[in-house]
Structure 1
Amino acid sequence: MATLTKTETRAHAHAHHHHHHDNTYLVSKNKQDPGVRITRIGLYTNLSMAIVKGIGGYAFNSQAMIADAWHSLTDLASDILTLATVSWSLKPPTTLFPTGYGKIESLGSLGVSGMLLFGGCFMCFNSCEILYAHFFLDAHAAAEAAAHSHGHSHSHGSDAPSLHAAWLALGTILVKEWLYQATMKIAKARKSSVLASNAIHHRIDSLTGIVTLGAILGANFLNEAAWLDPVGGLLISLMVIKGGWGNTVEALYELADKGIDEATKGSISKAANKRLSGLGSATQIELREVEGVKSGQNYLVDLQIGVPKSWSLEQIREVEENVREAVGSSVRGVRRVKVRFVPKDDASASLFDEFISGDVEVNPEEHDHDHGHDHDHSHGKKEL
């Protein structure tokens, strides 16, 4: 079966981390577009397979297949989350939510990734429990442990998975490989990195299907090798834990307002500098700093630009509008661009200067005076 190239492996590592941030084709309303169609087919297929593998793994006594069902949910959950929250995260800001509604997606992501992390840990525990019984307990105790973990006993008297599970695993491999080929074909024609990322997710699913199939066949055809199925379940559950943990940390970082990543900063700088170089007085303008936070799918960006002291408000306003338009139209996800202008000859100025030091204290006398003034004023109004 096909294997991943080094380029695909790197792409998957990046895509898996950012998968739910850029589902362009998934949320598009143009259902006739090939990219939209293949992406939605992939979503419905993932949903169906997660359910079928979960039921099949339980019915056929395969820990590996149950773990593979959870693995399918790791990719599926981010897509469902996007569909559920995209309309909220793109709503304009209000007085109640002045920075927009993007954090609603971050909260949803935390909930889903937490569920996946818990599920992966539960499957890992089950697999470890069965393996412990296999290697450290007698045959009868091992069978009882497997039955207890699986939830019911089996009439065939063996804790090896049913061979019917192998057909299900093989079907998963073939379907996911077809989805990989079909999606990658459109991705190459469109030169779409988003579709390419989705395609690589399908390839990863087909590879985990191979692990599942190997574990099931080995448990059935190799002597005293029933332990191979829980080993397969353990390997896949570790992948689920890794994915769930990574997404949980990312959601927590977003909720804690961690700064945007360097790649996005580079894209913003490139777009801003390109527009600044097109202005007539570009030599007098200097992009100093790029900072910002991520809020769901949205980027809230802060820029610092150095300009001559002699510039008028009208000149500064023209630069601000140009930069905001350039960044917003060039970098996907940018929803707000705030620009801070400083004198070009002031090399020490920084965006972080806007924060008031924690050492600053309110003057108690002024505070008491203000309260006293308010009290006298209100008292006077009562007398009137």
Structure 2
Amino acid sequence: MSSHKQTQTRGHAGHSHHHHAHDNTYLLSSNKKDAGVRITRVGLYVNLGMAISKGAGGYVFNSQGNLSDLVSDIMTLATVSWSLKPPSDRFPSGYGKIESLGSLGVSGILLGGGFMMGLSALVALCQQFFPDFAELAAHWGVLPHSHGHHHGADDLGPNINAAWLAGGSILIKEWLYRATLKIALERKSSVLASNAYHHRVDSLTAFVALLMIAGSNVLNNAAWLDPVGGLVISLMVVQAGWGNTKAALFELADVGVEDEMKDNVRKAATKALDTLNTGSAAQHVELRSVQGVKAGQNFLMDVELAAPGTWTIEQTRGVEDLVRERVGAKVRGVKKVRVRFVSKASEQDFMDEFIGPNVSAHSSPEPEEEEHKHDDHDHDHDHVQEKKGANRSARRRK
């Protein structure tokens, strides 16, 4: 059985070396082939083009909106590229948390923009239906600036030709949203998901602008369409922004991975063990527990296996390599697998890795000092006894 394990391990170790060498070459490249980096760059170029077109006369997206979009794209591009770097001595678990921080920033922009958009829409409605209140608010300087995804009738005007610009913006931004979100779901990347919703906000805002253009040419007074549409969009933006913000905060707090990921790791590890558990049941290796944390697009998993108590370190090492390679090859996003072995006769779990307060070095420093005092006391006592013995010997000689 041992030779069988070693044969299995050598085969998978060879696959492991090739697999990780390929990953490192891939990660150390300029990342131009990475789907997440590529779609973010496309979004960056599109938003940059829209910002330039604004100066050339396009009024569907104002400059403030494009500024926040550009900041979101640059932040996403930087964090995604950085998080793909391989682990180092300073970051032994990889750079995935960098993406979690970037996700918090991008989703924070989204959440703040949603609140400002909603407040701006409410004020615009108040200006139409409650002008006295609006004048009072303006007097005290509480009228908010537009986030950039809210547009008034003065921006668009009644020209029906502006509808072409709004329609084109809808198509481009909706495509960017769907393409970015598809990659975000595949990678389980919160920062890409936040950036995708930025594109969706632009798409929805262009749709409201299109309604405003059409309404201004059909209805006599369609000024209320814009703030009402902005208010609806702001609620959607706040909901998406809060969801992504919460997900980023949970990642930074090292919340446990979802049950789906645990099940996927459990299935892959079980299949790997099935190739080894061919002898008697007493020599089988059991899968006890699976847990892990998420760091950006990376999943850092812990697997607990129960093996016979008579096994050697070499035997457990062979199983560890096999399980790690199978999980890494079958479960997307897993970048680290730590395998822990316990005896089949024990009832241990991952909680016993934590140091209890009764044995913590910081909780009771006195015993160590008392132990030194006790040792010093014993040494002094022995010294006194030796001195007394020497005095008795001297008296006898006399």
TM-score, with structure 2 as normaliser? 0.65
- Counterpart of 1:240, as a letter, is V
Asked if 1:92 is matched to 2:92, the reply is no
Are 1:367 and 2:353 matched, yes or no? no
Counterpart of 2:106 in structure 1 is 112
Question: Among the aligned pairs, what percent are the same residue?
Answer: 47
Aligned-pair CA distance for 1:102: 2.1
Residue 229 of structure 1: which of 226, 238, 251 is its match?
Answer: 226
Give distance in 1, aligned partners of 2:219 and 2:253.
Answer: 51
Alignment correspondent of 1:214: 211
Q: Is contact 1:275–1:323 with CA below 8 Å preserved after alignment?
A: yes
Residues 198-242 of structure 1 deviation map (CA, whole Å, 9 limit, x = unaligned): 9x9778865654343124422553233211101112222222222
Map 1:298-309; keep pairs closer than 5 Å: 298-309=298-309
Q: Which range moved further: 81-90 or 203-212?
A: 203-212
Pair 36,335 (structure 1): closer, same or farther in 2 beyond 3 Å: closer
CA distance in 2 between partners of 1:204 and 1:160 (Å)? 18
Mapped pair 1:81 → 2:76: yes
Partner of 2:21: none
Q: How far apart are the structure 2 equivalents of 1:106 and 1:180?
A: 20
Letter of the aligned partner of 1:163 in structure 2?
P
Say which SS state the counterpart of residue 357 (structure 1) adopts. Answer: coil
Distance in 1, Cα, partners of 2:298 & 2:155? 48
State the one-letter code of the partner of 2:275: G
Question: What displacement does 1:138 show?
Answer: 6.6
Counterpart for residue 5 of structure 2: none
Mapped partners of 2:275, 2:116: distance in 1: 57
Counterpart of 2:168 in structure 1 is: 171
Whether 1:344 and 2:344 are equivalent positions in the alignment is yes
Taking structure 1 as the reference length, what is the TM-score of the superposition?
Answer: 0.67
Q: How many Å separate the matches in 2 of 1:206 and 1:124?
A: 17
Q: 8 Å contact 1:127–1:233 — kept in the other structure?
A: yes
CA distance in 2, matches of 1:244, 1:103: 19
Aligned residues: CA RMSD: 4.8
Match of 2:396 in 1: none
Partner of 1:324: 324
Unaligned segments of structure 1, at least 5 residues? 1-24, 152-156, 376-384
- Provide closer, same or farther for how the CA distance between residues 113 and 322 of structure 1 changes in structure 2, counting only shifts above 3 A: same
Partners of 1:245 and 1:372 in 2: how far apart?
58
1:241 aligns with 2:243: no
SS of the equivalent of 1:299 reads: strand
Q: Amino acid of the residue matched to residue 135 of structure 1?
A: F
Partner of 1:134: 128
1: distance between equivalents of 2:175 and 2:266? 39
Counterpart-to-counterpart distance in 1, 2:276 and 2:158? 70
CA distance in 2: counterparts of 1:43 and 1:177, whole angstroms: 15
Displacement after TM superposition at 1:270 (Å): 1.8
Q: Please show how residues 139-178 of structure 1 align to structure 2 within 5 Å.
A: 161-163=156-158, 165-176=162-173
1:256, CA displacement in angstroms? 0.7
Structure 1 residues 365 and 44: alpha-carbon distance in aligned structure 2, compared to 1, 3 A threshold = same
Q: Does the CA-based 8 Å contact 2:118-2:230 persist in structure 1?
A: yes
Mapped to 2, the partners of 1:300 and 1:365 lie a distance apart of 38
Contact 2:37–2:80, Cα closer than 8 Å, also in 1: no
Per-residue Cα deviation, 1:54-100 (whole angstroms, up to 9, x for no partner): 8799x85x7xx5699589949x9378524444335523131x43333
| Shift of residue 287, structure 1, vs aligned partner | 1.3
Offset of residue 358 of structure 1: 4.1
Which stretches in structure 2 are left out of the alignment for 5+ residues? 1-25, 147-151, 377-398
Equivalence for 2:314: 314
Structure-2 residue corresponding to 1:290: 290
Q: CA deviation at 1:35?
A: 11
Take 1:324 and 1:111, find their aligned partners in 2: how far apart are those partners? 33
Contact kept? 1:71, 1:236, Cα under 8 Å? no
Specify whether residues 219 and 140 from structure 1 end up closer, same or farther in structure 2 by C-alpha distance, changes over 3 A only: farther
SS in structure 2 of the partner of residue 367 of structure 1 = helix
CA distance in 2, matches of 1:98, 1:161: 53
Offset of residue 38 of structure 1: 7.2
1:102 to 85, 96, 103: 96
Deviation, structure 1 residue 257: 0.7
Q: Secondary structure in 2 aligned to 1:325? A: helix
Question: What one-letter code is carried by the residue in structure 2 that aligns with 1:221?
Answer: V
Match of residue 46 from structure 2: 45
* Structure 1 position 316, deviation (Å): 0.9
Contact 1:56-1:168 at 8 Å conserved across structures: no
- 2:259 aligns with 262
The residue identity in structure 1 corresponding to 2:270 is: N
